[in-house]
Structure 1
Amino acid sequence: MHGQDDDEENCVLPSLKNIVTLPDDTSPRASCSRLAPKKGSCQVAKELFMDKDISNCEYQKEYKFCQIKGTQGNYTVSCNISRCGGQVQVRTWIMSGSFKVDKFNSSSHLERFIVSLIGRASYQPGSAFCFIDCSLSQIEPEDVSPTTEFLPRYMFENIDAELFDDDYDFDLHSASQLLLIPIDFRLKTKKHRKKKMININVLFIDSVSRHHFYRSMPNSVNLFENLNARYMAADVDSVDAPLVLDFRLLQSIKSRTFESFQAFFDGFVNPYVKPFGTLSNPPDPLKVHPLLSSFKQLGYHTLWLEDMCWEWEWGISKNIGVVNKSLDHQELWLKFKHALQKTLIDDMGSTFANCDILRANNVKDHFHGPNAVCFNGRHQHEYHLEYLRNYQRTMIEMHLPYFSFNEINVAHEDTGLRIQTLDKDLAKYLHFASSQKNTLTMIFADHGNSYGSIMDHTPEGQIELFHPMFFVIIPKLVRSFIGDVRMRNLIKNQNRLISILDMHYMLKAFNSKSNDSVSHTQNHHKILKKFPIPPEGLLSEIPANRSCKDIPTIMPNICLCEGFDFPVQNDSQYALIADFVVGSLNNQLLRQQNMQRVPPLRRRCKHLQTTAFQNVMVSHHIDHTIITLDVIVETEVPDETALLLAAVKLKTRPSYSLELMKYDRLTVYGHYSICADHGVDLQLCICSPHQNGIHVTPNILNMFNLSSPLLTMETKTIEHEGVLQECILIIVLKNKFGHSYRVSNNCDKAVFNLQFALKTKNLFVSVEDVHTVSVGPRDTIFLGTAVSYTFYTQKKEWTSDFLASVSK
C-alpha cells in the first residue's frame, strides 16, 4: 500500500508517489487537513484485507462458441457449435423488454446471423450483445463437473416461458456465452466532431473509499504512478504522456448513491430534506438531462452502462423512478422505456444482459455476495469493461464525440475483499483509456463501504465512509483544450476540499461559450445560495479556506477536515442524546407497524434497545450545534449488534430545541428482510432471521440497558378521576443532565389517550407543546427528552417535570 506506515500505532494517509504539482505555486496552504487516521487502523485494515485468498472465476469453464475479430467496417465471425448436439439458440435483446430467440443447427448459419447483427440497419439501444445457449450433450464426461457447469436449470425457469420452445430442452449440462456485438454507428450518426470537443469517460465505482482503493488496487495505482513518472520525466510543454490527478479531499455528500448522482447530473443537493427510506422510491426521479443536454446539443453520443438488473429495485430503474413491484414485466418495461427517453441516454450497451448474469449467480444484486460475480468463466466486470473499450474504440474510429457513464458495483458488499477481483482488469482498461488522446477519464466513488467489516473494528471505518476516491486522467490534447489557467486550477485543487458538485460544474463548463453562460448553482437551485460553489467547479480555483460549512452534505456525515468536528468524552449528557435517538426511531417503527395494522402480538420487528454509544463528535455553528454519535443496539442474532450513526441538532434560536436530523444503519441488515414486518423500513428492524418467529414484547422495565451507570430509571403512575390507571406507566430515564420520558400500556386490550407536556427550565427539549398520543395495547411510546448541554448551559440551574392526563 502506497504511503502505509508499518507501525501498528501510527498510520499515514495514502497518496501517489509521483504527484503532479505546481513548482511555482505561491497560493496559501489549504486550511482543511484530512483527519489523522485512527491509531492502529492501518494494522486492522491489513489484517482484514491484505494477503487474503480472493475468489475468482476459474471454477467455471469458459466456452467460446463464437468469436468476433476485426475493426469498424471489417469484422470477421467464426463459430463452432459442434459440442452443442447440433443445435444452439441465440437470444437477442429487443426493445420490447424481452429476448428474441433464434435457433441454429450449423456453425455457418450462426456465423451469418452474427454478421447480420453487426451490420443490422436499425440499431436498438442496449442491444449490443446476445446469449448463445448450448446444451452440452456431446461433451466428454470429464469436461463437465459440478464446478464447471454454468447455468443451472433455475436460471431458465426464471425467464419468460415463451422464449423457449417445448422441443428444445436445456439439461443440467448447459452453458451460455455472452457475446458482445460491435455496432456500426455510421448507420445512425453522421460525423459530428467540431474542432474543440473532447470525449468524457466517467467510471463510477460504488462504495470505495480513498484508503480502500489504495490498499485493494495495487495494479491500478501502479498504472497511475507510471503515467505520472512518464509525464514528469519529459519536458512538460511537449510531453505527450497523460497525467493523473489525485484529488485527496473529496467529501462525500451522503453514504448513499442517489444523492451523489443528484449532485453529479443535476448539480443539486438538498441538505435539509429528510431522505427517503432505503426500500422506498425517490420522491422525485433522478434528473440526468441537466448534464447530458449540454453535451447532446453539441452532437455527443451518450452511453449509460451499469452492472445492475434493470428489473430489480436498485440501479437506474430506481434512480429514474421506475421500480414498482405491483407491475407485471411488460408494464414495468413500458414504464422504464418511457422514463429512459427523458434522460437523453442514447445507449445502454450490455446493461440488459445483467439480469441473466445475476440470476446465474443466484442473486438479484451484488450487495451481499457472491465473493465473485462470474458468468461463463469470466468476471461480470470483464464484459462491462470489454464493451466499454469496444464502444469507445468505435466512436474514436468514427470521429464521434461521446459522453460515457459507467457504474460498477463490485465493491458494494460486506467483506471489502471483492473489489480486488477488479484490479487487474481495471488497470488494463485504464491503460487503454489513457492512450485515447482526446478523452478525459474520471474515476470516482460516492462514498466508502457503508457496512463493511472495517466498521466493526475501528472508528476509522466511519471516516473512510465519507472519504471516497477520485482520480482524473488528462492526455495532452485534453490539457490543451482545458487551457493553462484551468489546468493550474485543477492541479492546485488536488489538495483542496471538494464535492461531487464541483465535478458537475466542471463538466458543464467544458461546453459553455463563456464564463457568463455557465449555469451557476446560485441561479440554478435557490436552496444552495448559502453555499459558495465555484461556477466552473474544479476548473475554478477552490478557495484555500474552504471548509465543510461551505459545501452541502446530508447528515449524518463526518467532515474530513481536522478540527471541524471535535471528539468529546462519552459522558452522561450524550447518554440522553443516544436515548433520544433510539426513542425517536422506535416511534417511527411503531407508526409504520400501526399503518400496516400489525397487531401487537404479531409484530416481528422489536423496539430498538440501546446497549452503548461511542464516537461522539461535535461541531458548533452560529445558532446550533450538531452532535454525531454511534448508537449500538441489541439484535436477535448471537454475538451481533447493530450500529447506527445519528446526527442530532441542538438549536439555540428561537428557543432551545432538540432535533434528530438523520441516521444511517452502518452494519448489515439485509438478512432481516426474511423476518421483518411488511411495510417497515428495514433500517429500523431487529427481528429473528433464523427463527422467523414472532417477537414477544419484553417486560418494559428490562428494556433500557443504559440505565446503569449513566442513566437511572423511575416509573410513575397516573390517576384519572381519582382512579389509578394500572395499565399506564410513565418511564423516566434520568441523570444529572436531564430526563427522558416514555409511556407504556401494559394491558392487552385497552387503548388510552395521553395528554403530555414538559415543564422545563434551561434545557434543550425535543417537544415544546402539549400533545396527545394514543397508546395502544402493549405499546411503548417515546414522549420526549430534556437535556442540559454544557456548552451553553454549564452554570445554569435546570429543572424538568411533566404534566400528564389520561383518558380512554
Structure 2
Amino acid sequence: MAKGKRYLTSMFMRYRSHYSSFRVLLILALVVAVLFIYKYHSNNRQTAVSDDDGRGDDIDKLMGEVVRKLNLQKPADGQHCAIPHLNSPAVSPGNASCRRIQPIRGSCQLANDMFLSTPKESCDHQQYQTICEYEEMHNAIKCYNDVCDPEKPVSIATTSPDLGTLHWRSLPSIAKLQDLLRNMIDPKSRQHHFGFIFIRCPKLRDEEEKDDEDDDESNTNDTPEYEYNNDDEAYEDDLILAGKHHLVGINVYQLLILPPKIINQKAVHTNKYIDVNVVMLDSISRHHFFRSLPNTVQTMKEINRRNASTVLDFELLQSLKGRTYENLMTFFAGEIYDVAKPFGVLDMPHKPLKTEAMLEQFKKHGYHTSWFEDLCWTWEWGLVKDLLAMDRDLELADRWKKFKDALQTARIDRYDVTLSSCEMLRVNHHHDPFHGPEALCYRGKHQHEYILQYVKYFQSTMAKLKQPYFNNLLLNTGHEDTGRRVQTLDDALADYVEFLTKQENTLTIMYADHGNAYGEFIEKTEEGRIELYNPFLIHHSAK
C-alpha cells in the first residue's frame, strides 16, 4: 500500500505541470485505473483501514486528494502567482535561503474572483449628519442649529463608570449640549469621559414635512400613540420591528469622538523614550493584505519613496496557531501554548493573557498603556475573555468591576473608545463582527473610522503633553468568512499610515495574528491553508 502511494505521488509530481485538457484527462484516467487496481487488491487482502475507527479508507482518501489537487492546481491564466513585495524585488536579498513557499498556481485568480470581482461595500446607504463637531486645532466644540428641532430636548449617552454601559439622559437644548461638551474637553475640567458621546435629537423639519405629518396623524386616529422616552435607545430598525413606522426618521443620531482626558500629568517625554504603537489586524494573511488594501500599500510605498519615514515589510512571519489568544500570549509574554492542553473555541483559556509581562516594564518607565478594540465587552469575545474576566452569571455592575480589576492586573490603563463598540454592533443586529455584516456602519461611517479617529486623537494628545505610551489597537474588520470586508478598511488605514509619518519618536508595529481561519477560500484551495500561517508584519518608524 505504501509503495502504491509513493508511486501515485511521484506520478502526480511529475505530471502536474502539464495542463492541456488532453493530458489532464489522461492523467486522471491513469490515476483512477491504478487506484482501482490497488483498491481491488487491498480489499481482497483486507488491508484497508476500517471506517469504524473514524479514519476511513486510505485509498478513498488518496483518490480524493489527487483529484482535488489536479483540480486546484490548474491555473486560469497559465502563470504562476507572484509573491507581493512592498519594496522592489531588487531590494530583497537574492540569495536568501529561507523563502515563502511558491503560491499554488491558479490560486491568485481564484482569490481575485472571490474577493475582487465586485465593488467593496460602503456605508453610503446611511447619512452622516453633524450635530456637533470637535475642532482639534483649537480644541473647540461647535454645535449647529440646522439639524435638531430647537423646540425639543436633546438626548446624550455616555458610558456609566459604575456599569460600563451606555446611560442616556436629556438636555433641554443644543446650547446646553454645546456647553456640556466644551466642559468635557476642557483640560482644567475633571469631568471624566471615555473619548466618545452618542447624541440623539428630533430632526428639524420644514413646513411641508410638518403638514405631511399633520395629515398622517389625522388619518391614523385609531393608531395608538407612542410616547417617546428619552431613555429609550430605539433606532429605525427597532421601530419598524415594533410596528411604529410613523416614528422612523424622526430622530438624528451622531457618534462624536473626543480626545482623551489626561489630568495633571507632568511632562516626562524626552528623546530617550520611544512611543510604541501596536496595530493588530485580525485574520489577514500577507497576500490578503496586499490584495485587499491597495491604497494602504501604495501609501507605504510613497512614504518610502519620499523618505518621509521608514516602512519595513517582514515577508516571512510564521503564525503559531490559527487563533488570536495563543499568538497574543507569545507576543506579550513569550509563552508558547501547550499542545497537550488544548481548549475549544467557545471555552475559556486555561490562564489569562499575560499582557503585564511586557506592559509592566513600560509602566516602570512612566509609560501610559492602552488597549482599544472593536468588540463588545459584555459579549463573549475579546480582551474580557482573554483576561478570564468574563462571567455572564454576575450582575452587570459586578461584571464591570471584575473586568476593571483584570485590566489593572494586566497593567492596561485605558480601554476608552472600545466601549462604543457595543452600541455600534447592537444597531447592526450583531453581538460580534465575525459573521457579518458586510460593512459595519454607524450613521454613514464604518466602525473602524471612529476608532482610528480616536487613536489619532490619543497619539496627538500624548505627543502634545509629552507623555510616553504603549498603545495596542486590535481591529477585527478582516475576521469574517467572506474575506471581503477588510477592503472597507483600506481608505481609513491609508490615511492613518500617513498620519503616522508625523508622529516623532514612534515605532508602529502593524501585523496580523494569522490569516483567515474560515470561509470559502480556505475550504477551496490549499493556498488558503498556507496563508492561514503566513500573516503580514510591517514596521513603521517615523523620522
Q: Answer yes or no: same fold by TM over 0.5.
A: yes
CA contact (8 A) 2:239 2:247 kept: no
CA contact (8 A) 1:11 1:42 kept: yes
Aligned to 2:299: 223
Aligned to 1:80: 145
Task: Give 1:116 deviation, angstroms.
Answer: 1.1
In structure 2, C-alpha distance between the alignment counterparts of 1:353 and 1:117, rounded to whole Å: 17
One-letter identity of the residue aligned with 1:53: P
Answering whether residue 141 of structure 2 is matched by residue 65 of structure 1, we say: no
Answering whether residue 512 of structure 2 is matched by residue 428 of structure 1, we say: no
Pick from 286, 290, 297 the counterpart of residue 214 of structure 1: 290
Task: Give 1:196 deviation, angstroms.
Answer: 0.6
Q: Secondary structure of 1:197's partner?
A: coil
Give the number of aligned pairs: 442
Q: Secondary structure of 1:71's partner?
A: coil
Q: What are the residue-to-residue correspondences of 1:149-548 with 2, within 5 Å? A: 151-152=235-236, 154=238, 173-185=250-262, 187-231=263-307, 241-476=308-543
In structure 1, C-alpha distance between the alignment counterparts of 2:256 and 2:90, rounded to whole Å: 40
Pick from 94, 98, 103 the counterpart of residue 160 of structure 2: 94
Answering whether residue 206 of structure 2 is matched by residue 133 of structure 1, we say: no
Q: Tell me whether 319-328 or 430-439 shows the greater mean CA deviation.
A: 319-328
CA 1:141 to 1:306, structure 2 compared with 1: closer, same or farther past 3 Å?
farther
CA contact (8 A) 2:500 2:542 kept: no
Pick from 145, 152, 171 the counterpart of residue 104 of structure 1: 171
In structure 2, C-alpha distance between the alignment counterparts of 1:255 and 1:327, rounded to whole Å: 31
In structure 2, C-alpha distance between the alignment counterparts of 1:76 and 1:360, rounded to whole Å: 26
One-letter identity of the residue aligned with 1:462: R
CA 1:427 to 1:155, structure 2 compared with 1: closer, same or farther past 3 Å?
farther
One-letter identity of the residue aligned with 1:51: S
Answering whether residue 82 of structure 2 is matched by residue 12 of structure 1, we say: yes
CA contact (8 A) 2:76 2:106 kept: no
CA 1:333 to 1:45, structure 2 compared with 1: closer, same or farther past 3 Å?
same
| Structure 1 residues 369-400: Cα deviation after superposition (integer angstroms, max 9, x where no partner) | 01000001100000011001111111111111
| Structure 1 residues 336-377: Cα deviation after superposition (integer angstroms, max 9, x where no partner) | 122111121111121111100000100010111010000011
CA 1:293 to 1:70, structure 2 compared with 1: closer, same or farther past 3 Å?
same
Between the aligned residues of both structures, percent identity stands at: 38
Aligned to 2:19: none
Task: Give 1:34 deviation, angstroms.
Answer: 1.4
In structure 2, C-alpha distance between the alignment counterparts of 1:467 and 1:211, rounded to whole Å: 8
Q: Secondary structure of 1:83's partner?
A: coil
One-letter identity of the residue aligned with 1:94: S
CA contact (8 A) 1:304 1:347 kept: yes
Task: Give 1:134 deviation, angstroms.
Answer: 2.0
CA 1:331 to 1:153, structure 2 compared with 1: closer, same or farther past 3 Å?
farther
In structure 1, C-alpha distance between the alignment counterparts of 2:77 and 2:145, rounded to whole Å: 57
CA contact (8 A) 1:44 1:457 kept: no
In structure 2, C-alpha distance between the alignment counterparts of 1:157 and 1:302, rounded to whole Å: 42
Answering whether residue 104 of structure 2 is matched by residue 38 of structure 1, we say: yes
CA 1:92 to 1:170, structure 2 compared with 1: closer, same or farther past 3 Å?
farther
One-letter identity of the residue aligned with 1:201: N
In structure 2, C-alpha distance between the alignment counterparts of 1:35 and 1:297, rounded to whole Å: 42
One-letter identity of the residue aligned with 1:291: M
Task: Give 1:153 deviation, angstroms.
Answer: 5.8
Structure 2 residue ranges without an equivalent (≥5): 1-74, 214-233
TM (norm. structure 1) is: 0.52
CA 1:90 to 1:307, structure 2 compared with 1: closer, same or farther past 3 Å?
same
| Structure 1 residues 100-132: Cα deviation after superposition (integer angstroms, max 9, x where no partner) | 4332222211110101111264364x7111111
One-letter identity of the residue aligned with 1:226: E
CA 1:156 to 1:253, structure 2 compared with 1: closer, same or farther past 3 Å?
farther
Q: Secondary structure of 2:416's partner?
A: coil
In structure 2, C-alpha distance between the alignment counterparts of 1:9 and 1:195, rounded to whole Å: 50
CA contact (8 A) 1:94 1:127 kept: no
Aligned-residue Cα RMSD (Å) equals 2.9
CA contact (8 A) 2:146 2:204 kept: no
In structure 2, C-alpha distance between the alignment counterparts of 1:460 and 1:82, rounded to whole Å: 51
CA contact (8 A) 1:357 1:374 kept: yes
CA 1:475 to 1:181, structure 2 compared with 1: closer, same or farther past 3 Å?
closer
In structure 1, C-alpha distance between the alignment counterparts of 2:147 and 2:445, rounded to whole Å: 22
In structure 1, C-alpha distance between the alignment counterparts of 2:161 and 2:241, rounded to whole Å: 22
In structure 2, C-alpha distance between the alignment counterparts of 1:15 and 1:212, rounded to whole Å: 12
One-letter identity of the residue aligned with 1:183: P
Q: Secondary structure of 1:473's partner?
A: strand
In structure 2, C-alpha distance between the alignment counterparts of 1:395 and 1:402, rounded to whole Å: 7
| Structure 1 residues 548-602: Cα deviation after superposition (integer angstroms, max 9, x where no partner) | xxxxxxxxxxxxxxxxxxxxxxxxxxxxxxxxxxxxxxxxxxxxxxxxxxxxxxx
Task: Give 1:419 deviation, angstroms.
Answer: 0.5
Task: Give 1:170 deviation, angstroms.
Answer: 7.5
CA 1:123 to 1:303, structure 2 compared with 1: closer, same or farther past 3 Å?
farther
One-letter identity of the residue aligned with 2:175: S
CA contact (8 A) 1:86 1:106 kept: yes
One-letter identity of the residue aligned with 1:273: A
One-letter identity of the residue aligned with 1:60: Q
One-letter identity of the residue aligned with 1:297: K
One-letter identity of the residue aligned with 1:228: N
One-letter identity of the residue aligned with 1:151: Y
Task: Give 1:323 deviation, angstroms.
Answer: 1.7
In structure 2, C-alpha distance between the alignment counterparts of 1:395 and 1:216, rounded to whole Å: 32
| Structure 1 residues 179-224: Cα deviation after superposition (integer angstroms, max 9, x where no partner) | 1122342x23111113311111111100000000100110011011
In structure 2, C-alpha distance between the alignment counterparts of 1:377 and 1:86, rounded to whole Å: 24
In structure 1, C-alpha distance between the alignment counterparts of 2:339 and 2:425, rounded to whole Å: 36
Q: Tell me whether 251-260 or 272-281 shows the greater mean CA deviation.
A: 272-281
In structure 1, C-alpha distance between the alignment counterparts of 2:432 and 2:334, rounded to whole Å: 28
| Structure 1 residues 282-321: Cα deviation after superposition (integer angstroms, max 9, x where no partner) | 1111111111111111111111111000111111111111
CA contact (8 A) 1:18 1:229 kept: no
Task: Give 1:324 deviation, angstroms.
Answer: 2.1
CA contact (8 A) 2:239 2:248 kept: no
Task: Give 1:21 deviation, angstroms.
Answer: 5.0
Q: Secondary structure of 1:103's partner?
A: strand
One-letter identity of the residue aligned with 2:84: P
CA contact (8 A) 1:81 1:106 kept: no
CA contact (8 A) 1:349 1:387 kept: no
CA 1:475 to 1:83, structure 2 compared with 1: closer, same or farther past 3 Å?
closer
Q: What are the residue-to-residue correspondences of 1:591-740 with 2, within 5 Å? A: none
Q: Which has the higher strand share?
A: 1
Aligned to 2:59: none
